[in-house]
Amino acid sequence: MSEIVDLHIRIKKLLVERIYESFFLIFVVGSVLGYAVGARIDKCDLPDENAIEVVDEEKPEADVSVTMEVPVPIVNDPDRSSGLVNDIQLESVCADIAGAIAKPGVYCLDQGSMVIDIVKEAGGFSSSVADSYVARIMNLSQQVRANSKIYIPYEEEVKCDLLELTLKNVRTDEVLPNVGSTGETTEPLPEQTDEQNQNSDVSAPSCIDLNSASISELIEIDGIGESTAQKIIDARPFVSVEGLLDVSGIGDAKYAQMKDSFCPI
């Protein structure tokens, strides 16, 4: 019984010691944290020694109002005769004009200028200009393109081009007579009539009638001699050209050679 009491006392003392140690540890940690937080707050509140204090003094505001008028140039407005238009530098375009012109060369004009403007700048057309070409083909109101070439043709150039074009469109046999090898003029050959064409076709038949051809006509065909011609006559009548294969002495090779010479039956 005494041993149990002693054990109980020891446990009680041990618990008291652990409680004291815990309170002491909490006190130490709390003190350290409090010191650290206080030091940080003090550091933030301290004024900077190098800082310069700036005091804003109230100054009376001055009532300043500036009014500026910006003139806007208006182009092509007859109601405003302002000198600002003359100060505007318009972009220029340069072009080369040549041909039937008084003073050929390179001229620079304001952008938007027309062909007639550069013609006037170059002194106008010369006396040898192709008036019909200018009137019918050229567009004097067209705007001049930068770095372009303008050519005004002469009257003689237009005539030569027109003559060459006319000769190309006309048949030679309608203009020039027939000339022989000796240089003498010959009459054109008369055209053959339909009857003459038919006679020429009859005189030169393209095939031979297998059932009516004579021996002399048959032997004119390649591969047929007098003996074979007589056999063909003896084997008549034929109902087709292929019947020649039944004639003695005519095989496939010889038949292929002569079949196109006979008219179809």
Output the CA torsion 212→216→218→222 (10° steps): -160
Single-letter amino acid, residue 173? D
| Count, residues in the chain | 265
Q: Token pair for residue 93?
A: 């375009």
d(CA 96, CA 246): 90
CATH number assigned to the domain with residue range 215-261, chosen from the 4 options 3.40.50.300, 3.40.50.2300, 3.40.50.150, 1.10.150.320: 1.10.150.320
Q: In the β-sheet with 148-152, what is the strand arrangement from edge to edge?
A: 105-110, 92-99, 148-152
The SS3 assignment for 253 reads helix
CB 118 within 8 A of CB 107: yes
What local confidence, expressed as pLDDT, does residue 189 receive? 53
Q: Tell me what percent of the residues of the chain surpass a pLDDT of 90.
A: 25
Domain with CATH 1.10.150.320 in the chain: 215-261
pLDDT of residue 111: 92
The pTM of the whole model exceeds 0.85: no
Q: What is the pLDDT of residue 265?
A: 81
Fold of 90-156: Ubiquitin-like (UB roll) (3.10.20)
* CA separation, residue 144 to residues 95, 102, 116, 121 (Å): 7, 18, 9, 13
- Which residues in the chain come in under a pLDDT of 50? 51, 55, 66, 70, 75, 81-85, 87-88, 171-186, 200-204
Cβ atoms within 10 A of the Cβ of 103, count?
11
